[in-house]
């Protein structure tokens, strides 16, 4: 067998191959199903750190490190599943004073256009929609390239901007306003 | 009244600890059984802190009481007490000691395993956590705390009932010797 690379068939095959892989080169990724991806928060009560997670969150990102300004990010976060290691606290989190999941079941974060700030490090100036409030939140992330890239990111959310922890819980000496958010997202091509 | 216990009377230290601890346990029971009805917001958390702080206070007092009991001994059984009654009374007393340790300790473990917030004794002294936050230990310690309380109440009723029976029907000094002299007349047998 003797296939010449310059043969019309080979050229056609190469072109077809390029077309097929074109969406991947445009770098659209979704969060890989299953475990491995995490979205967590950390804050304090009376000076003592406690943490929680948002299982079931999902991520879509369009990203080419060569052109971060064209990137987009969409994260959907179901709030009723928030887990903090204590069922009493979880039910308080779901209640009216915190996430009010009966009225606002999910939070979303969406960003368009990333800025490179360092080696494999970018910042997204997106909008967080939480509890009926939409406000800008900066999200910094590290990008580990590969066939299945990994996004490792963090943000600081001011809970009172979104009315999370109202009523009796407003005092920032008890629960600080700044809540640390961290995430690891295992991605796969869309 | 003497400080130490004599052959036929409890001294002032034993009497003081006996009645103080009884009063605090009564208070703890009332607060403990009702505080769950309070709204779970920071405005009411001081009630929980007060319950826990009183409980730790009782733990310390019971340890002192046991040490004093071992050092100062106990009065002789009231003359004429049948051996079987003496044995039951003695077993009841030691069971009360076991429960007076088990109740605050299980509450302390419950608080630690819950891991909701730091516990400062009357808001003043940081109380260390006995275990890491852990739902299994939380459920077990809570069950011991709750059922231990009802067992304690049952044993206390038997203990107080026996004392009253001795006072009113046997007409002996069993109750009077746990009270300051002349508070109640030590009945004389005919």
Q: pLDDT tens, B135-180?
A: 999 999 999 999 999 999 999 999 999 999 999 998 999 999 999 9
Most confident of A18-27, A82-91, B100-109: B100-109
Chain A hits for B135, CB-CB cut-off 8 Å, are 85-87
The whole-number average pLDDT for the span A144-158 is: 95
**CATH code, B61:** 1.20.950.20
Distances (CA, A) of A189 to A63, A77, A110, B14, B170: 11, 21, 19, 76, 88
Q: Which long-range contacts (CB under 8 A, 24 or more apart) does B71-79 make?
A: B72/B4, B72/B5, B72/B11, B72/B13, B72/B14, B73/B5, B74/B5, B74/B10, B74/B14, B75/B5, B75/B6, B75/B7, B75/B8, B75/B9, B75/B10, B75/B177, B76/B7, B76/B8, B78/B166, B78/B172, B78/B173, B78/B174, B78/B177
Residue B7 lies in a domain: no
Residue B153 lies in a domain: yes
The whole-number average pLDDT for the span B50-74 is: 97
Residue B187 lies in a domain: no
Chain B hits for A89, CB-CB cut-off 8 Å, are 116
* Mean pLDDT, chain A, whole residue set: 90
Residue of B nearest to A84 (CA): B116
The whole-number average pLDDT for the span B104-122 is: 96
pLDDT at B190 over 80: no
**Residue A2 has what pLDDT?**
52
Residue B159 lies in a domain: yes
Instruction: Assign A15 a pLDDT band (cuts: 50, 70, 90).
Output: low
Entry pTM: 0.84
**Residue B181 has what pLDDT?**
84
Residue B4 lies in a domain: no
* Chain B contact probe: residue of A43, A46, A84 with most B CBs at under 10 A: A46
List the beta bridge partners of residue A139. A124, A155
Residue B40 gets which letter from DSSP? S
Rounded Cα–Cα distance for residues B173 and B77 (Å): 10
The whole-number average pLDDT for the span A147-158 is: 96
Residue B1 lies in a domain: no
Which of the following CATH numbers is that of domain A26-189: 2.40.128.110, 2.60.120.200, 2.30.110.10, 3.40.50.11240?
2.40.128.110
Q: Look up the domain containing B40 and give its range.
A: 12-178
Spatial contact of A180 and A154, defined as CB atoms under 8 Å apart:
yes
* Cβ-based neighbour number of residue B177 at 10 Å: 17
Residue B183 lies in a domain: no
- State in Å, rounded, how far the first CA of chain B is from the last one: 26
Torsions phi, psi for A85 (to 5 deg): 85, 5
**Residue A24 has what pLDDT?**
44
Instruction: Assign B186 a pLDDT band (cuts: 50, 70, 90).
Output: low
Q: How many independent structural domains does chain B possess?
A: 1
**Residue A1 has what pLDDT?**
47
Q: Mind listing the pLDDT tens digit for each residue in A137-150?
A: 999 999 999 989 99
Chain A hits for B114, CB-CB cut-off 8 Å, are 86, 88
The whole-number average pLDDT for the span B34-45 is: 94
């Amino acid at each position: 067998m003797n296939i010449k690379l310059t043969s019309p068939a080979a050229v056609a095959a190469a072109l077809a191959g390029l077309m097929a892989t074109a969406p991947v080169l445009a770098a659209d990724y979704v969060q890989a199903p299953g475990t491995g991806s995490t979205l967590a928060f950390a804050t304090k009560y009376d000076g003592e750190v406690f943490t929680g997670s948002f299982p079931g969150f999902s991520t879509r990102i369009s990203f080419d490190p060569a052109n971060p300004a064209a990137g987009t990010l969409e994260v959907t976060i179901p709030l009723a599943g928030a887990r903090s290691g204590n069922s009493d606290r979880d039910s308080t989190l779901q209640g009216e004073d915190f996430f009010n999941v009966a009225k606002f079941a999910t939070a979303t974060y969406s960003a368009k256009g990333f800025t490179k700030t360092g080696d494999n490090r970018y910042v997204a100036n997106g909008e967080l929609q939480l509890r009926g409030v939409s406000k800008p939140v900066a999200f910094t992330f590290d990008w580990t390239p590969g066939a299945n890239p990994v996004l490792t990111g963090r943000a600081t959310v001011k809970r009172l901007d979104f009315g999370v922890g109202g009523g009796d819980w407003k005092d920032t000496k008890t629960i600080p306003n700044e809540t640390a958010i961290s995430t690891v997202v295992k991605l796969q091509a869309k | 009244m003497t400080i130490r216990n004599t052959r036929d009377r409890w001294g002032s230290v034993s009497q003081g600890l006996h009645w103080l601890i009884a009063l605090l346990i009564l208070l703890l029971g009332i607060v403990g059984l009702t505080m769950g009805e309070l709204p779970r917001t920071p405005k009411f958390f001081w009630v929980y802190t007060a319950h826990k702080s009183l409980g730790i206070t009782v733990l310390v007092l019971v340890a002192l009481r046991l040490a004093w009991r071992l050092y100062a001994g106990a009065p002789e059984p009231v003359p004429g007490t049948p051996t079987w009654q003496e044995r039951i009374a003695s077993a009841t007393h030691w069971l009360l000691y076991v429960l007076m340790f088990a109740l605050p300790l299980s509450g302390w473990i419950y608080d630690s395993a819950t891991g909701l917030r730091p516990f400062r004794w009357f808001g003043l002294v940081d109380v260390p956590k006995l275990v890491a936050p852990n739902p299994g230990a939380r459920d077990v310690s809570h069950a011991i705390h709750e059922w231990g309380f009802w067992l304690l109440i049952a044993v206390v009723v038997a203990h107080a009932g026996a004392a009253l029976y001795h006072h009113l029907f046997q007409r002996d000094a069993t109750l009077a010797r746990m009270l300051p002299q002349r508070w109640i007349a030590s009945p004389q047998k005919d």
